[in-house]
A and B are shown apart, each in its own frame.
Chain A
């Protein structure tokens, strides 16, 4: 979409933001840089502070301490009205008594007379936005006559109408059914790469964050656990929390001595280990094992399930219950049955010290 006023999208710099609600520390010294044109996901469980952070970026809430800059300009003292941010609410918050057209035109109509477009121009802009969100035929309906996915897109068109420098979305796909959600995700991703607009969205769904975002910010208990590309976050999680939050993981207790982790049933030699001695917990994803069927193995197969194209093997390894996922090709050469002795080797994973 062309930017009529030529308003550029901007980078966002968040420095040491804290926010407390009564006894609850919603955000604790959070710092984050979001690049110009980037699409960032704030990912975390409920209560992690992600929505509070989004609302603070929007100017709908204010930090107790800390600063926010759009580009080089501090906006921390500006309210939502002055920030020029496009905000898409979780439940869309469409004006229920206005038709779709008026909903989208609202942001243009409330401008001061000097910068308000003419009626004809508003009409053109709204129609262009409706085209953009592929809802050209819907202008004369009321919000309650639309499906969830349509409302979502109208809310997006309304937010884009003010030519925001930043687009913020709160759980944008949370209230939609699975199929619509998938479609909208791809569509939003495409829209973002076409428009090159700095966008931040909140989600608790790791798959959604992985698919749509350029970078993912994982949050927990008011702090940022890790910032990285989806591949980085998934491949090299920075903490046990991130490891666990992004997909299934086996937690295998082990003993560490002289930088080597050992477990009676699983070979952990390939894992990057810690210095020093003590007890540790090895985090290994189900697909990061290799299996060899051999009587020398220290693990026993206890169950086998075929789930779509993967074979899920459950095993008992020296007191630990381990879940392994094999692709069809990996499983092809193996004769697995409950009771079979296997050698389990962790190919990839992380060892965290246990206190």
Chain B
């Protein structure tokens, strides 16, 4: 191995990597927290306890609380169907699941305006029946579900493909029902991958800006999620408040990172099995 003569190269490479990492990731992240606390904890707290901020936090939590479980179920069902059975159109569906990743979130939002907006396909019918989707909470939830749809399924499909169907067949041949097989054989085998997908799905659901921005209408206290609220505060030059709310999202990102690391380690352990 090349070792002795590459010390200088190694250190300069590591140095460059650290520098870039510091400049583009650590520094901005630190700035978020520094800005948030610049006028002291009092201002920080005030910004977060503002009713409009609380409404935004609540809406974000609500959206994630609906979108994540939905996509969790969708993801498991889709991955199960796509990996444990062979049928025509299978690979087409696998491609379609990735669609939300390849489409710009803004387009995703516009799709729903086209469908449910006043001039959209279902617009008149929705108006007649007094159902509000666009510029209301349902629109935000739908847009979030769309954008975060692939996370769980994408995580599970390769995992379940690798694991194959033999264990399930063994369970069935031992007399277990389909449900019991799923619960006692399939689910324990995919639990870490599932958690990983859920974690990423949640991070995105809470942080999504583009698609949600298009369908939300930015009504303060009603249809503003945390990212939208941050943008408004920033545009109004209320930097401390903006960074206070932003620091919550940044904190979420950090927690997500730590948990992600833990899960990756767990999955590597599981793979050794």
Contact = CB atoms under 8 A, between A and B. Distances in A.
Nearest to B273: A144
B269 to A, nearest CB: 10
Give the size category of A's interface with B: 20 to 34
Interface stretch (A90-98, A174-182, A275-283, A313-321): A90-98
Given A91-B166, A97-B188, A80 B273 contact: no
A89 to B, nearest CB: 5
Interface in B242-259: none
A142 B169 contact: no
A42 interface: no
Give the size category of B's interface with A: 10 to 19
B273 A143 contact: yes
A81 B171 CA distance: 8
- Which of A58, A106, A159 neighbours the largest number of chain B CB atoms within 10 Å of its CB? A106
Contacts of A96: 167, 189, 273
Contacts of A83: 173
Contacts of B175: 81, 84, 107, 110-111, 162
Interface string A66-104: 000000000000011101111101010111110000000
Given A142-B273, A144-B272, A89 B166 contact: yes
Contacts of A79: 172
A86 B173 CA distance: 7
A158 B188 contact: no
A159 B236 CA distance: 70
Contacts of B180: 110
Given A142-B273, A144-B272, A95 B171 contact: yes
B17 interface: no
Interface string B176-190: 110010001100110
Contacts of B174: 106-107, 110, 158-159, 161-162
20 contacts: A60-B172, A81-B177, A83-B173, A84-B175, A85-B173, A87-B169, A89-B169, A89-B170, A93-B170, A94-B170, A95-B167, A95-B170, A96-B189, A97-B189, A97-B273, A107-B175, A110-B175, A110-B176, A144-B273, A159-B174
Given A110-B180, A144-B272, A162-B174, 10 more contacts: A81-B173, A95-B167, A95-B185, A96-B273, A97-B188, A106-B174, A107-B175, A110-B174, A110-B176, A142-B273
Q: Which 7 A-B pairs have the closest CB atoms?
A: A107-B174, A93-B166, A144-B273, A93-B170, A110-B176, A97-B188, A87-B173
